[in-house]
Chain A
Amino acid sequence: MSQENEVETTGHVWDGDLQEYNNPLPRWWIWGFYASVAFAIVYWFIYPSWPVAGHFLTGFDTVTYVNNKGEKKTVHWNSRAELMANMNQYAAKQKPYFDKIAATPFKKIKADPGLNDFIASSGRTLFADNCAACHQAGGQGKIGFAPNLTDDDWLHGGTYKAIQQSIVNGREGVMPAKGLDPNMTDKQATALANYVLSLSGEPHDATLVAQGSALFHGAAGCFSCHGANAKGNQLIGSANLTDKIWLWASSPGAQTKAAKVEAVKQVILTGINDPNSIHKGVMPAWKGRLSGEQIKVLTAYVHDTLGGGE
């Protein structure tokens, strides 16, 4: 009750007797407020702050960094310069490794346990960020999408050089629908599919193999890319049809003979990246996105760590 006599009221009186106290703010709050004002003023002097005549006060704090041309620059503090300095700092830590990798031929990288560890850990991150979306986390690939990188079957070659080329420039698989025979009938495609399955010892209808083989080596023109022995050609990226490794026709997934024939037949009839059908089998080029050293790390990772290299 004593407060009534000490504290001022706001001066309003409602309904004849209703009044409101006008208590001052607590002292700690007032001082906190003044302290933050003082902090702001100091902050303006250190960091970029007020706009002035088309530019802004830049503040006294500076950041020093080195750009890609090797020029050392000192500029007023800003987040982009800070990033440059930060990148410099970590690049310096990684430099001994990357320099060594750039200077070391692939075979020696493989033989060097220290570099091998670096490849395994940095390659793993690069692979997860960039490659795993299609080739999956362990490089096991995805049927109907992206090839398995851990096996010994390579469309465009599994040497260091070929893998590096694939990453740098990307790849685009091409197979014309119905081969070179635009008038191919459904029955002919079935015969071809049976022949193709026979090449790798998959279940097939033996009575159709002769007809399929004639088409393969004749009118359908399959031999011109896949070779007369059907073993494929890595120079043009045509698949080896004599092994049991499938990328487009999900043959291992197809349980029955009929399903296997159907899967292979579909690939023959629609082709891969045929101008008139579905666009698939495209690996993007990474040269613009990844540095030369990063690509070298990835190449070594795919070849050695994932273990499919030739």
Chain B
Amino acid sequence: MIHDKKAHKYGMVIDLDKCTGCGTCAVSCMSENNVPFKEDESDKKDSITWMRVYRLTNNKPFPDTEVAFLPRPCQHCGGKGDHGHSPCVSVCPATATDYGYDTGIVSQIYTRCFGCRYCMAACPYHARYFNWWDPVWPEGMEKYLSPNVSPRMRGVVEKCSFCYHRYQLAREKAYANGSDEIPEADYQTACTTACPAGAIVFGDLNNPSHKVHQIVKPDPHPDPLNPDVVGKSRNPKVFRLLERLGTNPKVYYMSEREWVRKLGDHYLDGEWDKVKNVYGSASHE
């Protein structure tokens, strides 16, 4: 029974100017969530990495080249109008992936998934991975597996859960303490706590006292130019990936560098200049 009745909207903002591309978030995620590994992981299409770090470049020739890194967990889309119709949830015939209206987290229930992979086709962020094989750990290594997350089996899709088990633990702790508030520090994802550069900030986008809300300053009203888009940031440095699709991701990115922000979407010639200074409306503050 859920005692905490507030509608949370958990999300994160990743500072791409702080991210060093060290890969610690990815490994912390693998270790926390019992993500398996195979002999060859260099074919990235079938390498299961809930958190994957992409390398971005400004494509300028030497010596004007610049590089940035973009960690990509599941974006936990709210779907058009932020009504919970995430691209993957909408297409799942098995209700194996669902939208949590109390948390904003997109779930994945392995035992329901029958491996049709519609969700993978629907996800614009390549955040979902299919288990083509049963996971096998070298002899004895399965001893380090955590009981908080079920190891997956062949034939199911998996993805980042925003460390949902950590939410459950934090909720139980709050309940045991007789509180219906989950303190910000009590629910943090494994990538957030691991990042040595402090580039990831996680919390409740609905809670004005949370750091993530203060950085993102999400506009709760639909974008006047595109009513599908809700929660656009009022911070000029903050953007979302493929924002105009109206997927309404809860993962925001931040950079002072314009070329980095521009890589958040595919812009035709001249399009970027029209939108680059459009932020969430200040009138709703």
Tell me if chain B binds chain A: no
Binding site for B on A (CB under 8 A): none
